[in-house]
Amino acid sequence: MSLAEREDGLRELMDDPDCDPVRLRRTLRRFWTVNHAVSRWGRIYRTQLRPALAAGSGRRRILDIGCGGGDVLRRLVRLARRDGFDVEGLGIDPDPVACAVAREGPRLPGVAFRKLGSRELAIAGERFDVVVSNHLLHHLDRASFDAVLVDSAALASRRSVHADIARSTTAYAAFAVLAAPVAPGTFLRIDGLRSIRRSYTRAELGARLPAGWRAEQPTAFRLLAVRDAAPVR
């Protein structure tokens, strides 16, 4: 299979509103394991988010757009608190199943999950020190992609970091093998491979981002869309 071009029209099973809700819940729960293994949020926190949080004062707020099962937000809040920050987190997702699974995860004071879109928060004038997302951008059509970045710019008082997959044949081959043990009964393997086919290269993402944003590739399989709302010391 050639991955030379992004397959923008490919649809993931979990994005179908009529998909099997049982398999969807299993998929979201398994993401707790998969994201910890492959998403590199520990590194992203150290290099991107901790400096932004350190530039603020008082209670800091983290927003996770399209939070899925809620594992990424919980991890970031724990990392920030370990570093001594007074921080709270909000995860939002328009999918009620995702919100339910997120709420079923380990209880963490100061962390909440709501069935919302980013536009609703932006209209309400909410502000967060950092705004993040994990594996969201490749799901979005052009209009939704642009809207999420506009909302992020309005919501983040320090920095926005949207993390996604860097499309490559190596990533595709590795995931095909490594996902097999945790995939039964879920959409994980099929959708994971489709996600890679829908994802961007760094050059493609950089060309897609509006002014004020930059594309970074901290590891072979990870892309970041980053925007600084204020100088970060």
Confidence check: pLDDT of 233 > 60: no
Cβ pair 215, 206 in contact under 8 A: yes
All residues at 6 or more sequence positions from 43 whose CB lies less than 8 Å from its CB, including other chains: 218, 219
Note the Cα 58 to chain centre separation in Å.
25
Confidence class for position 1, pLDDT limits 50, 70, 90: low
Predicted confidence at residue 2, as pLDDT, reads 82
Predicted confidence at residue 195, as pLDDT, reads 95
Predicted confidence at residue 178, as pLDDT, reads 86
Burial status of residue 198 (CB atoms within 10 A of its CB: 0-12, 13-18, 19 or more):
buried
User: pTM for this one?
Assistant: 0.95
Confidence check: pLDDT of 231 > 70: no
Predicted confidence at residue 38, as pLDDT, reads 78
Q: For domain 39-166+201-228, which CATH number applies: 3.40.1410.10, 3.40.50.150, 3.30.1330.20, 3.30.565.60?
A: 3.40.50.150
